Structure 1
Amino acid sequence: MLTTFFISCLVLGALVGLLAGLLGIGGGLVIVPALVYLLPIAGVDPSIVMPIALATSLATIVLTSVSAVRAHHKNRNIPWELARQIMLVVAVGALLGAFIADTLSGQTLTYIFATAVSLLAVYMLVSIKRPTSRAMPSAFVFQVSGLITGIMASLMGIAGGAILIPLLSYFGVQMRQSIGVATACGLVVALFGSLGYIVTGLEQTNLPNWSLGYIYLPALVGISLTSSLFARYGVKLSAKLPVRTLKKAFAVFLILVAIRMAF
């Protein structure tokens, strides 16, 4: 049973890496719904499947985003003076999100994930290029936005780039720099969100073996082993395939998955 689950996670990691490289999407949007279906195979109690899926997704992002942050820093894509303004509040938000998740039922977490993913997918479908002449908001508004991003990303098990990149682009930050800031903040979200899920999970008595708080280590290892490897192939495919069309198709797929999870 555990062997089947681990092999499934290896395949999932390959798919996540391929899609991340090809479409530039965050792995959590795929990992969370996939784990919701896979974790029962490993005998995980249905009442804690959702927090384990969220926590494990964030933990995989920690392992896979370190090299991305280094690469963006090396290429000068991260304006650190801008990133530092929200990294602290994003971290606080990620911790808060993990503690909020611990107080909610698995069904409520599923509804939150499904609703938020549907909204993000709709944005992917209808988004248009916006003018880049808008001024940045005040520091207070920017930090509140970062706090909300951290909370929502932690509740969804994602890095938060799907929220931050459109926000930063809307206020005129160049796309490369928006991605760089989102990558750096995503690492912070994943790190502190994972920490929060570890702490809140320690009090649980029905966790499966090989768990660190809510993080399920066999899933973490399986997904991480293949995701980084296949990301490079996704990048190569992106130069040959119609990425814009594929993104629209993936957005429709996300909406269908969200509806299926909710009902």
Structure 2
Amino acid sequence: MDITLIIALLALGAAVGFAAGLLGIGGGMLLVPFITMILAAKHFPQELVIHMAIATSLATIMFTSISSVRAHHARGAVLWRVVKLLAPGILIGSWIGPWIGAQMDSSTLAAAFGIFVAFSATQMLIDKKPAASRDLPSAPGMFGAGGVIGMLAGLVGAGGGFVSVPFMTWCNVRIHNAVATSAALGFPIALAGTLSNIYYGMRVPELPSGSLGYIYLPALLVISIGSVTTAPFGARTAHKLPVRSLKKVFAFTLYSLAAYMLYKALS
């Protein structure tokens, strides 16, 4: 890669790392559109661009999640009991998500990305108050919720926060705890999804040089360096913002990215 591209990817990683720590979204919602632009500019095969952007984004979350969750854990904000209940379903769902994506063409995959993100943003922005008696479901319900979160996250290359944060806040979990717990859930999502993307991607002929399955390794390396550096700063900032402001930042960030990916699907 030339120096200009390296600098651009480092800046992207830094911005995404900060946002991941701030919003608990793993950074994938931000990464996929930008990696799509970069791979398209490098003239990667059009039918592989979206799949590789999603896979590369998901792989970076393994590193961003570890950095972000350390900062949240230091403040006692991660609900580890919730992580343990959701993680088994998440591991299974995160393997299935990339398999579903491998069956879809680029336009359909981009459209699915945009729709899922827009729906999650709407749920957060409406901010409808949950019933005072509503709580997180029992262990079987948490396993099922984890499976859905993992499948959607693996499908669109995200850390799952766009589903898990609204889910937890709807069950009366404080937004700051929901963001912190979502950051911890990003690692099992990314691990299972990355292995799945490598496995299914290795079956694809004529992958570009530097690819491991659907993952583009040079972009993964550079972006991860930038994101790991800034994720703790985002996590610290999250605990200084009022709840309502944090929800608005979360929602409007997702709306802008949903619009871009829907545009890509239609074009």
Question: Normalising to structure 2: TM-score of the pair?
Answer: 0.85
**RMSD, aligned CA:** 2.7
How much has 1:111 moved relative to structure 2? 1.3
Contact 1:5 1:41 in 2 (8 A): no
1:113 is matched with 113
Which deviates the most, 20-29 or 10-19? 20-29
* Residue 189 (str. 1) matches residue 192 (str. 2): no
1:154 is matched with 154
2:38 is matched with 38
Contact 1:2 1:42 in 2 (8 A): no
Q: How does 1:3-82 map to 2 (within 5 A)?
A: 3-82=3-82
Structure 1 CA distance for aligned equivalents of residues 236 and 181 of structure 2: 24
Contact 1:68 1:183 in 2 (8 A): yes
Structure 1 CA distance for aligned equivalents of residues 234 and 176 of structure 2: 19
Q: How does 1:1-263 map to 2 (within 5 A)?
A: 3-232=3-232, 234=234, 246-247=249-250, 249-263=252-266
**1:184-220 CA distances to partner (integer Å, 9 max, x unpaired)?**
2221000110010011111122211111111101111
How much has 1:75 moved relative to structure 2? 4.2
Counterpart residue type for residue 39 of structure 2: L
**1:150-184 CA distances to partner (integer Å, 9 max, x unpaired)?**
10000010011221122122223344443343222
The number of residue pairs the alignment matches comes to: 263
Question: Normalising to structure 1: TM-score of the pair?
Answer: 0.87
Counterpart residue type for residue 254 of structure 1: L
Which deviates the most, 222-231 or 150-159? 222-231
Change (3 A) 1:123 1:258: farther
Contact 2:26 2:159 in 1 (8 A): yes
How much has 1:146 moved relative to structure 2? 1.1
Q: Which runs of 5+ in 1 are unaligned?
A: none
Counterpart residue type for residue 172 of structure 1: N
How much has 1:24 moved relative to structure 2? 4.9
State the percentage of identical aligned residues.
35
Which deviates the most, 143-152 or 235-244? 235-244
Change (3 A) 1:244 1:95: closer
Counterpart residue type for residue 83 of structure 2: A
Q: Which runs of 5+ in 2 are unaligned?
A: none
Structure 1: 4+ residue segments shifted above 6 A: none
**1:123-149 CA distances to partner (integer Å, 9 max, x unpaired)?**
233224434421332432322121111
How much has 1:39 moved relative to structure 2? 0.4
